[in-house]
Amino acid sequence: MIRVAVVAQVIALRAGLRALLQAGEAVEVVAEAASLAELVETLPGIDVLVLASPHLPFDLGVLPVGAPALLLLLDDGRMPQALAGWAGAWGALPLDASADELLAAVAALHQGLIVVSPPLAGPGLNRLLGAQTGEAEALVEPLTERELEVLGWLAQGLANKQIAATLGISEHTVKFHVSAIYSKLGATNRTEAVRRGVQQGLVVL
């Protein structure tokens, strides 16, 4: 069970988000508050922290080291620069994200991935990722079109067999592509490959 806390200044917004999140069998909303400061003492028991308010100041400095993954729900499309110094998993979705989008993001963040809705991807995201990684190193060899497709399906959580069926190729061929992706991205597992793919702007979750 993924334990989630919701922070939003508006009571109705908190209630709405709680209802959407608890629609997922694997998610439990264990706390909610109007500000980050109110939740600091309860953070050790939380896996994902959802910050959702158009006027909420994203003062991440109040959070201790080892704080849970962050999911920001934004209404203006601007990525908060406070994320530049954030070492943990984080994500950003529009404030009007659907229940399916929220639950998928929470699940991905729980696995340590970076999650960004396509409408929010852009120069602001690239600057943040560059600040976090010291600017991602250029690939020694670019991924082929097929490898990019496979990486995209890896980011969606599909197994090799499912990717093979989706692309109409053999599972052995998928394994070959996955191995090549690992080598080119300098990754040792799927999570790391997806994370580095996001850093390089090759895939958006």
CATH number of the domain enclosing 149: 1.10.10.10
Q: 36 with 121, same domain?
A: yes
Q: 118 with 161, same domain?
A: no
Question: pTM for this one?
Answer: 0.60
Domain count, the chain: 2
Q: 18 with 114, same domain?
A: yes
Residue ranges in the chain modelled with pLDDT below 70: 53-66, 76-87, 118-141, 201, 203-205
Q: 118 with 168, same domain?
A: no
Which of 101, 133, 165 corresponds to the end of one domain?
A: 133
Tens of pLDDT along 42-67? 777 889 989 886 555 556 666 666 67
- φ/ψ region of 84 (left if φ > 0, alpha if ψ in -120 to 50, else beta) reads alpha
Q: 16 with 90, same domain?
A: yes
Q: 154 with 73, same domain?
A: no
Contact, 77 vs 55, CB < 8 A? no
CA distances from 171 to 28, 74, 88, 162 (A): 36, 39, 33, 9
| Residues of the domain holding 166 | 145-199
Which of 109, 133, 157 corresponds to the end of one domain?
A: 133
